[in-house]
């Protein structure tokens, strides 16, 4: 997405700024006898409008495609996480690992354990107001919506310290409502899962 939108935006910036710079440099009153009378060019205007509409249409097509890939992702889920947001912290549990649980404590943010490189389903709830689950490394967030359950599928890159935040302002300790994602390779994840389910909290 960024790969499409950024070049388009940069191209527009360059074209518009160059036109302004050209006009400001070339048409100073001090360097000319006087202004030329204004002459509208409806055909040119319509052509530019059509060009803009075409760019917009292309971007909309790209966006709709990417949106469908993200929200209608039906890859088989390898692992499921139940995430609960509350004022002010997170609790992570795993339906396949009944004993494993981590939640925000006074001294440290919780750790979310997931396998890397495979499809993970997050089931997100809130206990009170609206929060939002955001992991910048996967460029995705979803609100933890009052009275609703949000499900989404993510593929995490490997990393033992991916940062996560509550993105929806929720009051006093919103700034501190962070978490860490450990996205592990297959072997490491199996070892963690065995340890986590073997020793119920």
Cis peptide bond prior to 88, omega within 30° of 0: yes
Closest distance of CB 12 from another protein, Å: 6
Order of all β-strands in the sheet with 131-135: 111-115, 178-184, 159-166, 131-135, 140-144
- Does position 108 interact with another protein (CB under 8 A)? The reply is no
Q: Count of alpha carbons within 13 Å of 164, Cβ hemisphere only? A: 30
- Does position 106 interact with another protein (CB under 8 A)? The reply is no
User: Whole-angstrom Cα distance, residue 114 to residue 201?
Assistant: 18
The only residue of 98, 171, 185, 198 in contact with another protein, by rule CB under 8 A: 171
For residue 178, the tally of other CB atoms under 10 A from its CB is 16
∠ Cα 147 149 153 (to 5°) = 160
User: Whole-angstrom Cα distance, residue 167 to residue 187?
Assistant: 32
Closest distance of CB 37 from another protein, Å: 4
Q: Write out the binding residues for another protein, residues 29-58 only, by CB under 8 A.
A: 29, 32-42, 45, 48-49, 52-53, 55-56
- Does position 180 interact with another protein (CB under 8 A)? The reply is no
The only residue of 101, 130, 155, 192 in contact with another protein, by rule CB under 8 A: 130
Q: Which is nearer to another protein, 100 or 154 (CB)?
A: 154
The only residue of 118, 119, 178, 197 in contact with another protein, by rule CB under 8 A: 178
- Does position 143 interact with another protein (CB under 8 A)? The reply is yes
- Does position 74 interact with another protein (CB under 8 A)? The reply is no
């Amino acid at each position: 997405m960024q790969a499409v939108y950024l070049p388009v935006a940069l191209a527009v910036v360059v074209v518009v700024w160059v036109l302004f710079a050209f006009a400001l440099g070339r048409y100073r009153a001090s360097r000319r006898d006087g202004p030329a009378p204004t002459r509208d060019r409806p055909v040119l205007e319509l052509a530019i409008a059509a060009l803009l509409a075409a760019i917009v249409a292309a971007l909309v097509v790209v966006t709709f495609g990417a949106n469908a890939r993200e929200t209608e992702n039906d890859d088989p889920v390898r692992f499921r996480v139940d995430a609960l947001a509350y004022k002010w912290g997170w609790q992570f549990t795993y339906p396949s690992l009944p004993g494993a649980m981590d939640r925000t404590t006074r001294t440290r943010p919780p750790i979310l354990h997931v396998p890397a490189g495979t499809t993970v389903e997050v089931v997100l709830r809130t206990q009170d107001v609206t929060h939002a689950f955001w992991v910048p490394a996967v460029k995705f967030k979803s609100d933890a919506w009052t009275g609703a359950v949000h499900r989404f599928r993510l593929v995490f890159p490997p990393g033992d310290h991916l940062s996560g935040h509550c993105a929806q302002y929720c009051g006093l300790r919103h700034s501190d409502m962070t978490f860490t994602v450990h996205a592990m390779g297959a072997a490491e994840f199996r070892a963690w899962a065995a340890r986590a389910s073997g020793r119920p909290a």
